Structures are given as structure tokens and as C-alpha cells.
Chain A
Amino acid sequence: GAGVSQSPSNKVTEKGKDVELRCDPISGHTALYWYRQSLGQGLEFLIYFQGNSAPDKSGLPSDRFSAERTGGSVSTLTIQRTQQEDSAVYLCASSIASGSSTDTQYFGPGTRLTVL
């Protein structure tokens, strides 16, 4: 079946511009996560959506970062006034979140963001 998809696969932008990154989770998965992957920093948690609950935004590095999840499915991560340090691979993952234990997270291919 279809896995998690992300678009665009690559994004090059100029410092100060806004960018939007999109994630389509696996159908039926109620939990959606955004991570940032950069050299030397590993996998950094950004934000977590679970069903209709308020999102866990505890990992967002600054108020320039925000995310939405519309209709419990597609999610958009927005970075305003991009900085060079925002350059990284942004990963999205989803899980079924059955509640019985920590479910497997299925990752998308990532969006590589380069801020010039």
C-alpha cells in the first residue's frame, strides 16, 4: 500500500523567505510526527499530532515554525523567514496509535531544505 509521502522532495530557498512542507500520512493513521534530521544533531522531534487532541509543539525550535493538520490527515509544516540554520532534512512519520503500546512509526522520504 501507499506509504507516507512528502513534498517537495527538495526545496532551495533564499534566507528570509517562507516555505511550506507537506506530508500525507498513511490512511487511517491517527498520529503524525515531524522531525528534523541534520548532521551531528540526529533526529530532532518538532511536533506531534494525535487525533483531535491539541498538538504537542514542544519540539518547535522557534516561533518561526508552525504546523497544521487539516481534517486529521494531511499536514503542512511552515517555516517563516527562513535562516541558514534551518537547512536540514525534514521527516514526517505516521503511526496507527492504537493506544496499547508504542506503535511503529512509518517515515516518509523527507524534504531536503536548503536555505541560501
Chain B
Amino acid sequence: AQRVTQPEKLLSVFKGAPVELKCNYSYSGSPELFWYVQYSRQRLQLLLRHISRESIKGFTADLNKGETSFHLKKPFAQEEDSAMYYCALGRHNTDKLIFGTGTRLQVFP
């Protein structure tokens, strides 16, 4: 079955600490992976996608097909990174995404 797993519901760190939000997927085809973010009182929005291979707001994510993972990382967390993060899987021939259950990141001062 096609599935996205985010094992942590809540991740709490202090400002300046490294952050890694875990995401694992299950899909036999060639996946497209995304991270979406929802800041407090804002809309859910795209943070980054693996095919872009870019760093957004200091966050990066590398697709590891061997481990079927797409973990989101940032070396030094900031308070403004506090938000809900969703990992999502895109598949061939459909625009429909499969979302994980989300991880709430709390960055304390």
C-alpha cells in the first residue's frame, strides 16, 4: 500500500539546535516527495519538493530511495520555524498527494 509515515507527532527543540523531521514512504514506483508547512493562523503551503533540490528557509530534504525516506533537516532551528509540517507523496500519472499525519515542531527560545 502507498503510505507516508511521520513517526513523531511532536518535536520540541531549543533555538539554535539541529532539527530533523522524519518521513518515510511506501511506493513501488518513482516517487515525488514534498514538505508542506502550516504556520499558526496561516494556510498550509508548500515548503519544498525533492526535485527542486533547494534549501528553503534553511531547510533541506534529501530523497533516499534505499531507505525510502525524505527527512527534513535544518542545522539551527529558529523560533519562527514552529509550525505543523506534513510530508507528502506524489505518484506517476496523478496529481493526488498522499499526506502523512504531520509533525508539530516547537522551537523554544
Contact = CB atoms under 8 A, between A and B. Distances in A.
Interface residues of B, number: 23
Contact of A43 (B46, B90, B102): B102
Given A31-B95, A50-B95, A101 B101 contact: no
B25 interface: no
B1 interface: no
Contact of B101 (A42, A48, A102, A105): A42
B99 A43 contact: yes
A50 B51 CA distance: 23
A42 B5 CA distance: 11
Most chain B CB inside 10 Å of its own CB: which residue of A33, A101, A105: A105
B45 to A, nearest CB: 7
Interface in A91-116: 91, 93, 95, 97, 101-110
Interface string A73-99: 000000000000000000101010100
Interface of B: 6, 9, 32, 34, 36, 43-46, 49, 51, 86, 90-91, 94-102
A-B residue pairs, 3 tightest by C-beta: A102-B90, A42-B101, A43-B99
